[in-house]
């Protein structure tokens, strides 16, 4: 019997203020429902980060929490060992920022060193980006998938030569208003639409699992949920494309033409 596949939510109490643990729930259930033994693990600061996980998740948080998370992750070392062994890291929002080489915190924009897992730098943006976002993600087979989410960040992120954009922005802000969203470097993926964005983007959820397990998963054998997800995505994509104000107008008011 194989060991269960570990999905690791890292520092939920520090980096999880936007329901980010939901990403862990989604990944774990999507394996379980396919008959693959999976376990959701939440590690908090002070606990060792296991280095035998398949997918690691970082979420959103406030400035002080970012600084604490970087310090604790560097001191612990488990996440770095896991990535060396081929694990996948999916980091959103503040979690994305700390994966870079540097980011700023506080009222005086103090520059902090990041985890250095992505060749990106983040600096304070002139204006906070808040609202629904829609991006285009090119999947490994070359096909395109829409990513729908909600972004809320005060940073502008710029990519260095070793990172490539994760997706292209159709509506919203993304990295810094240059049309790119997120960054990919090896098996580390960073993205602004915050947690939980995997419920709204099942193809991305399955991609992370396939990347970690080096296998093709096939469709989820859960017709009812698949239909609900299709409807949710239809609604969200429709709302974002018809919204006059992405931050304020996020409701579903029936079909809008």
Annotated binding residues for substrate, written as ranges, equal: 128
- What minimum distance in Å lies between the beta carbon of 229 and another protein? 6
Residue whose pair of structure tokens reads 């609202």 in the numeric block: 131
Q: Does 195 bind another protein (CB under 8 A)?
A: yes
| Contact flags string 56-75 toward another protein, x per CB under 8 A | ------x-xx--x---x---
Q: How far is the CB of 162 from another protein (least distance, A)?
A: 30
Region binding another protein by CB under 8 A among candidate stretches 1-9, 112-120, 174-182, 194-202:
194-202
Interface with another protein, residue 34, by CB under 8 A: no
**What is the pattern of x (binds another protein, CB under 8 A) and - over residues 138-177?**
------------x-x-x-----------------------
Residue 88: CB minimum distance to another protein, A: 20
Annotated binding site: 128
As a three-state string, the secondary structure of 154-201 is: EEEEEECCCCEEEEEEEECCCCCCCCEEEEEECCEEEECCCCCCCCCC
Pick between residue 14 and residue 82 the one whose CB is nearest to another protein.
14
Helix, strand or coil, per DSSP, at residue 249: coil
Query: SS in 3 state form for 46-104?
Result: CCCCCCCCCEEEECCCCHHHHHHHHHHHHHHCHHHHHHHCCCEEEEECHHHHHHCCEEE
Among 27, 177, 19, 160, smallest CA distance to 92 is for 19
- Identify which of 172, 167, 20, 157 has the alpha carbon closest to the alpha carbon of residue 99: 157
Hey, how many other C-beta atoms are within 10 angstroms of the C-beta on 141?
Answer: 5
The structure tokens 């006059």 sit at: 244
One of 53, 172, 182, 196 touching another protein (CB under 8 A): 196
Side-chain half-sphere CA neighbours of 169 within 13 A: 20
Return the residue of 78, 100, 114, 131 that touches another protein, per CB under 8 A.
Answer: 131
The Cα–Cα gap between 181 and 22 comes to: 21
Q: What is the pattern of x (binds another protein, CB under 8 A) and - over residues 98-127? A: ------------------------------
Binding site for another protein (CB under 8 A): 12-14, 16-22, 25-26, 29, 45-46, 62, 64-65, 68, 72, 128, 130-131, 150, 152, 154, 194-196, 199-200, 222, 224-225, 228-229, 231-232, 235, 247-254
């Amino acid at each position: 019997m194989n060991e269960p596949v570990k999905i690791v939510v890292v520092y939920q109490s520090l980096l999880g203020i936007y329901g980010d643990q939901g990403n862990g729930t989604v990944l774990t259930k999507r394996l379980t429902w396919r008959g693959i033994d999976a376990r959701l693990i939440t590690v908090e600061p002070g606990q060792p980060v296991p280095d035998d996980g398949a997918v690691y998740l970082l979420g959103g948080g406030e400035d002080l929490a970012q600084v604490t998370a970087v310090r604790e992750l560097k001191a612990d070392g488990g996440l770095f060992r896991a990535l060396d062994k081929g694990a996948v890291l999916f980091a959103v929002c503040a979690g994305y920022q700390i994966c870079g080489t540097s980011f700023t915190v506080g009222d005086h924009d103090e520059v902090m060193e990041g985890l250095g897992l992505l060749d990106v730098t983040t600096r304070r943006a002139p204006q906070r980006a808040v609202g629904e976002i829609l991006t285009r993600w090119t999947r490994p087979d070359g096909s395109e998938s829409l990513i729908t989410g909600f972004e809320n960040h005060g940073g502008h992120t710029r990519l260095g030569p070793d990172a490539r954009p994760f997706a292209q922005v159709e509506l919203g802000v993304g990295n810094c208003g240059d049309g790119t969203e997120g960054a990919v470097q090896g098996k580390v993926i960073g993205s602004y639409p915050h947690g939980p964005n995997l419920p709204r983007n099942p193809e991305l959820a399955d991609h992370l699992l396939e990347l970690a397990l080096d296998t093709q998963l096939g469709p989820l054998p859960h017709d009812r949920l698949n239909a609900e997800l299709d409807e949710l995505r239809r609604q969200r994509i429709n709302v974002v494309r018809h919204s006059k104000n992405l931050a304020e107008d996020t409701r579903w008011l029936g079909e809008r033409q």
